[in-house]
Amino acid sequence: MDSNRKNNVVRHAPSTMSQSVTWKRRLRYEFDNIISGGPVGFLILLFCCAVVFDSIISMITWWFVLDTKNQRFLEVLWHATTSMLDPGTFAEYEGFGFRATMFVATLGGIILVSAIVAILTSTLDGWMHRLRRGRTIVYEENHTVILGWSTYIVDIIEQIILAHDIEQKGMGLFARKIKPLQPCVTILADMDKADMEDFLREHVKQYKKAKIRCRRGSPIDVFDLRMVNCARAKSIIILRNSGPYADIELMKVLLSLGQMNARNASQHDMTMKSTPGTQRPDILAEITHTSNVSLLDVVQELPNVQLIQIGAFVSRLIAQSSLQPGLSYVYSKLFDFGDNDIVFVKNTNPPPTFGDAVLMYENGIVIGIEQHTGVLRVNPPHDTVLAPEDTLIVIAFDAVSLRRSQTGARAFTIHEKATNQTRPSATHTLLIGWNWRSKMVIRELDEFVPPGSKLTILVQDFSQVNETENLRVMNELQEIQTANIEMHMQICDTTDRAVLRAHMADFDHVIIMSYAGIQVTQHADAHTIMTLSHIRYFLKDTTKRYNIVTEIMDSRNRALMASADVDDFVVSDKIISMYLAQIAHEPRLHAIYSELLTAAGNEIYLKPVEQYVDINTPVTFHELVAAALAHHEVVIGYRYGNVSIGEEDRNEIHINPAERDKPVVFNPSDRLIVIATEAYH
């Protein structure tokens, strides 16, 4: 019986519920929908209520109040409206009935106007809250999008501003009016918008010279990517995070960009496909491991992606800079937009061969060609025939100010000196410190140094902090296979002056690595600075010049390590940001720098001048270039070996010198900066 009763209840419940929907509940339901629909619908409802209420009060007053029989209805309507908007108006009216109705109108007006003001205030507050959250869409074009946040984002923005200023200076008056006066940088990161803007406002030196738009969101979310208008961007820079799964998250970001590209192409909304006057944005992404370059195979919708392994770039730069004093300064000048850059020049009337092209500019040096097939060649054979469609790769201040020689490629008298170039002898390098990039640095050193070279590694004793840290470092060192280097490792206190003094007797180069990943950033940099101070103390009384390459994590600590010696090189976030900004500005530079920074192909070397010309005879820079061409090399500058402090007219390093025809007398310690395929010291 209980089961039948339960069945009856269940059977009749739907009909009971359907009968309970009365007109009052339906009206309440529609009212709730209007309220939840947003402020616009609610404001319209309140406005309609105000109009109806005002009309009813006016009709009652006009028909039933004797004091208003002689007034027109519009006059009564006006009095009722003013009473609703201004509570003090009804006090001026005469007659009890008229005052009573206007008092009712005033009470209704107070309620309705208060509701409208409350809605407007709430709407404005919500709008301001959304703006502070950074969830609005950026309607910019030809801008730079930065996805993620990193310690060197400030330097990237400053380099973008500097590159834009250089472009503006090289343009004509009409072109300046067409091109935006300020570059636009849009940042999408999972951080508070106000915090990002405050940080950039405090740290970016020329903050007002650029339009910087910060938005809060996740780069792996397609809808968040739409906020920064990636489809209309000039370039997209994807910064890696410091987590262990950075490459996996990078794949998610690339897939999100590819999905957005496919969706936009089908919907014709913010499409990333090329349209008249627009291009696909170039995408530059940081990657941790080279093996993950295959990530591009899963993102077929993004053909303009370049993956940059920052760890390999820094390791190669440290290895090469430690072996050649002054090389770091050369790369710093090439990476900086404020100095000579590598530019691409389309020349419809090129000289016959590449060797002739090297001498064709008065204020630029041709170092390679981009063939019409798209192949980039640095320092090709000098008898390579140039086609009218080929593009010249030139080291110059900018492509606009290049001046072609009036006489073309000239023949110069070469004051050659017959010298036998000898291969470099074995070296001894001192490496202090350890992090995840140290293994790559050792492998790069092994490719550049001759057989029989030595490497002494000093690593801090972390047994008191982490018992397994020393064992981990030793295991990583045992995994490294070297062909030219004999390695010796010692665990000690790398900040102890007495310990360091015992290893300073015989060495040629010094590399100080940061303890990144083992210590927090500031502690690791403090450790590095103390070690560097001890090394400089030992070297201040020596006559031999040593180049010290030091790695720090926070570029703000760079000022604490300043040195007047160009042989001292500090690798920080700044050099990384300069490199990323260069590639984002001109993606073709990635292939050029990749060749210059690897052992295969062409590299930048500093070789003795006396290997090319007779240093007893004054020579011009044009003659130096011609002499290097005879060795199948390209000269891009020279370095004075011995420079007195305060000697203003004889700076130490000259890249793309301005005075090409001025004779210069060189010393045995002076060196030419050349692009060559093999190093001879």
CB atoms within 10 A of CB 585: 20
91 within some domain: yes
Amino acid at 81: T
677: which 2 tokens? Answer: 């395929």
How many H helices and E strands in the chain?
Answer: 20, 20
Over 50: is that where the pLDDT of 270 sits? no
- Among 86, 108, 133, the domain boundary falls at 133
pLDDT at residue 564, as a whole number = 53
Beta pairing partners, 308: 286
pLDDT > 70 fraction of the chain, expressed in percent and rounded: 80
Tokens standing for residue 54: 């005002």
Give how many domains the chain has, as a whole number.
Answer: 4
Residue 67: band (very low, low, confident or very high) from pLDDT cuts 50, 70, 90 = low
Which pLDDT band, with edges at 50, 70 and 90, does 592 fall under? very high
H or E element in which residue 527 lies: helix 521-539
Mapped onto helix, strand or coil, the DSSP state of residue 498 is helix
Domain housing 126: 22-133
Domain for residue 299, yes or no? yes
In whole angstroms, how far apart are CA 287 and each of 150, 189, 201, 252?
Answer: 14, 18, 28, 13
**Is 478 a member of any domain?**
yes
Cβ contacts of 289 within 8 Å, gap of 6 or more? 247, 309
Do 259 and 167 touch, CB atoms closer than 8 A?
Answer: no
Does residue 609 share a domain with residue 471?
no
How much is the pLDDT for 9?
45
d(CA 342, CA 578): 13
Q: Are residues 120 and 229 in the same domain?
A: no
Q: Report whether 497 contacts 534 (CB < 8 A).
A: yes
Q: Tell me, yes or no, whether 296 and 336 share the same domain.
A: no
| Mean pLDDT across 5-30 | 57
**639, two tokens:** 């370095």
Contact 76, 98 (CB under 8 A): no
Residue 83 lies in a domain: yes
Extract the tokens encoding 398. Answer: 């900018």
Q: What is the mean pLDDT of residues 37-54?
A: 79
Determine, yes or no, domain membership for 7: no
> Sorting pLDDT into bands at 50, 70 and 90, what band is 146?
very high
Is residue 369 within 8 Å of residue 390, measured between CB atoms? yes
pLDDT category, 502, cuts 50, 70, 90?
A: confident
Q: Where are the beta strands (DSSP E) in 129-267?
A: 144-147, 184-189, 211-216, 235-238
Which of 119-128, 404-413, 422-431, 599-608 is modeled with the greatest confidence? 599-608
Between 607 and 54, the more confident residue is: 607
Instruction: Report the pLDDT value the prediction gives residue 170, as an integer from 0 to 100.
Output: 57
Regarding whether 257 and 150 lie in a shared domain, the answer is yes
Last residue of a domain, one of 259, 281, 303: 303
Q: Residues 108, 179: one domain?
A: no
Q: Give the residue-averaged pLDDT of 432-458.
A: 90
pLDDT value at 176 more than 60: no
Q: Pick from 253, 159, 244, 171: which is nearest to 206 by CA?
A: 159
**Is residue 635 pLDDT above 90, yes or no?**
yes
Same structural domain for residues 75 and 179?
no
- pLDDT of residue 341 exceeding 70, the answer is yes
Specify the amino acid at residue 132: R
Say yes or no to pLDDT of 6 above 60. Answer: no
pLDDT of residue 513: 92
For 453-468, what is each residue's pLDDT tens digit?
999 999 988 877 677 8
3-state secondary structure 130-169: HHHHCCCCCCCCCCEEEECCCCCHHHHHHHHHHHHHHHHH
Token pair of 431, please? 């490496």
Cα dist. 138→179, 186, 216, 497 in Å? 19, 8, 12, 55
Examine the domain organization and report whether 226 and 159 are in the same domain.
yes
- Number of other residues whose CB lies within 10 A of the CB of residue 559: 8
CA distance 119 to 110: 14
Same-domain check for residues 126 and 160: no
| Claim to verify: residue 296 and residue 228 sit in the same structural domain | yes
Q: Are residues 413 and 490 in the same domain?
A: no
Predicted local confidence at residue 1, as pLDDT = 45
Residue among 619, 628, 618 at smallest CA distance from 674? 628
CATH label of the domain that carries residue 52:
1.10.287
Which of 414-423, 428-437, 514-523, 533-542 shows the highest mean pLDDT? 428-437
Do 599 and 659 share a domain, yes or no? yes
What integer best gives the mean pLDDT of the chain? Answer: 79
Specify which of 36-50, 314-328, 561-575 reaches the highest per-range mean pLDDT: 314-328
Q: Which residue has the higher pLDDT, 29 or 186?
A: 186
Selected residue with higher pLDDT from 167 and 419: 167
User: 263 lies in a domain?
Assistant: yes
Look at residue 327 and tell me whether its pLDDT is greater than 70.
yes
pLDDT at 448: 87
Residue carrying structure tokens 């303009």: 304
- Cβ(381)–Cβ(358) below 8 Å: no
Q: Quick one: pLDDT band at residue 368, thresholds 50, 70, 90?
A: very high
For residue 552, tell me if it sits in a domain: no
Structural element, H or E, at residue 261 = helix 246-267
Given pLDDT bands bounded at 50, 70 and 90, which one contains residue 485?
Answer: very high
Confidence label for 182 from pLDDT (cuts 50, 70 and 90)? confident
* Selected residue with higher pLDDT from 648 and 350: 350
Please tell me the predicted confidence (pLDDT) of residue 647.
43
- Answer whether residue 147 shows pLDDT above 90: yes
- Kindly state whether residues 152 and 276 are assigned to the same domain: yes
CB atoms within 10 A of CB 373: 8
- Please write the tens of the pLDDT for every residue from 234-258: 899 998 876 667 778 888 888 888 7
Indicate which CATH number applies to the domain containing 236: 3.40.50.720
**Closest-CA residue to 585 (of 347, 282, 345):** 282
Do the Cβ atoms of 227 and 217 come closer than 8 Å?
yes
Nearest C-alpha neighbor of 192 from the set 132, 241, 151, 239:
132
pLDDT digit string (tens) for 71-81? 677 877 887 88
Domain of residue 437, CATH code: 3.40.50
The β-bridge relationship of strands 341-346 and 391-396 is: antiparallel
pLDDT of 276 reads: 41
pLDDT of residue 598: 86
Span 80-112, pLDDT tens digits: 888 887 776 766 666 667 778 888 888 888 888
Contact 635, 672 (CB under 8 A): yes
Q: Write out the DSSP string of 101-132.
A: HHHHHHHHHHHHHHHHHHHHHHHHHHHHHHHH
Indicate the residue among 518, 545, 572 that finishes a domain. 545
Return all residues near 358 (Cβ < 8 A) that are at least 6 apart: 365, 366, 367, 382, 409, 625, 629, 634
Say if 559 falls within a structural domain. no
Does residue 218 carry a pLDDT above 60? yes
Instruction: Please compute the mean of the pLDDT values over residues 400-420 and round it to a whole number.
Output: 59
pLDDT of residue 344: 92
> Which pLDDT value is given to residue 271?
43
Residue 591 to residues 250, 355, 372, 375, 583, Cα–Cα distance (Å): 21, 22, 16, 10, 10
Query: What is the rounded CA–CA span in Å between residue 140 and residue 409?
Result: 46
